[in-house]
Structure 1
Amino acid sequence: MKKLHAFASIISFLCISSFLISTIIVDLFCSYETIAILKSLIVLPGLIVLIPAIALTGATGFRISRGRKGKIIEKKKKRMPFIALIGILIMIPSAILLNMWASAGEFGTKFWWVQLIEVVGGGVNLFLMSINMKDGFVLTGKLKLKR
């Protein structure tokens, strides 16, 4: 269960970070056509990989932590709803909207505002996920905290 949790969390983190980095690079340096291709790839196959990976990360994390107590576990559990809400309410709808607009060649103000919201949401999720990963390394003894 722990290996599955680690694998799913790494896949989730890599998906979001690759979406975020590629979005920034393509938005800054590439054509609208390239942006449209990237937006399409983020939705399919990207979300098909990301959504199950995040769900599996959450499910296995809650199962592993069942019956365990402590500050680190409690902090991880408090961060998870924010990660999920950002994903469900911001990241997924933004990816779908941006893909629709980009495929139609609609790169107006609404596109760039939603793109900004998606990038900020992705950054926040990566930050929260990285803290959860660090805490996971502490819990498994792979990382020692200095006191």
Structure 2
Amino acid sequence: MKSAFHAAFGAVALLCIATFWLSTVMAELFTSYQEIAVVKVTILRGMWILIPCMIITAASGFSLASGRPGRLVDSKKRRTRIAAANGLLVLLPCAIVLARLVEAGRTDALFYSIQALELIAGAANLTLLGLNMRDGLRLTGRLSKRAR
């Protein structure tokens, strides 16, 4: 049961990050300033879903891993810590600043510099969480250790 709980919240967190990242890219490439503003503000509001999901996923993951040795468990723990730090120290501040800048009508070099940082950090978290999902599937036996 705890494993299913962990997987469900992890999947929602991964889906949130992927949605935020893709929405940003699509808005920047194909929409107007007003729609970019809506996306940035909506992403900030979406943190009320993402952050609790990440906390629950990390807590349940560390609980599931307690006393369980192994390379996959150690890798998942390390990636989780990096993703959490990236989220709290880079992604959340970027989301806040970008939403404030776009609300002020500023889409200048500062906006796009922070936007680039956010996209890079978001891609890193997508990669880290995707690898954690893969290793979680391996740990539960739902994915062969040899599968790519």
TM-score normalised according to structure 1 size: 0.97
Cα distance in 2 for partners of 1:42, 1:59 equals: 24
Q: Deviations over 1:59-83 (max 9, x none)?
A: 0000001110011101111111110
Secondary structure at the residue paired with 2:145?
A: coil
Task: Report runs of 4+ in structure 1 exceeding 6 Å deviation.
Answer: none
In the TM superposition, residue 145 of structure 1 has moved relative to its aligned partner by 2.0
Cα distance in 2 for partners of 1:47, 1:20 equals: 13
Determine the structure 2 residue equivalent to 1:110.
110
Determine the structure 2 residue equivalent to 1:93.
93
In the alignment of these two chains, the number of paired residues is 146
Cα distance in 2 for partners of 1:146, 1:112 equals: 41
Determine the structure 1 residue equivalent to 2:65.
65
Cα distance in 2 for partners of 1:56, 1:146 equals: 29
Q: Deviations over 1:10-32 (max 9, x none)?
A: 00000000000010010111111
Supply the RMSD in Å over aligned alpha carbons: 0.9
Determine the structure 1 residue equivalent to 2:28.
27
In the TM superposition, residue 104 of structure 1 has moved relative to its aligned partner by 1.1
Cα distance in 2 for partners of 1:41, 1:75 equals: 32
Determine the structure 2 residue equivalent to 1:141.
141
Determine the structure 2 residue equivalent to 1:83.
83
Determine the structure 1 residue equivalent to 2:43.
42
Cα distance in 1 for partners of 2:72, 2:112 equals: 37
Q: Which amino acid aligns with 1:8?
A: F
Determine the structure 2 residue equivalent to 1:4.
5
In the TM superposition, residue 86 of structure 1 has moved relative to its aligned partner by 0.5
Q: Which amino acid aligns with 1:28?
A: L
Cα distance in 1 for partners of 2:99, 2:78 equals: 31
Q: Which amino acid aligns with 2:8?
A: F
Percent identical among aligned pairs is: 37
In the TM superposition, residue 146 of structure 1 has moved relative to its aligned partner by 2.2
TM-score normalised according to structure 2 size: 0.97
Cα distance in 2 for partners of 1:145, 1:51 equals: 30
Question: For structure 1, which runs of at least 5 residues remain unmatched after alignment?
Answer: none
Cα distance in 1 for partners of 2:80, 2:49 equals: 19
Cα distance in 1 for partners of 2:114, 2:65 equals: 35
Secondary structure at the residue paired with 2:146?
A: coil
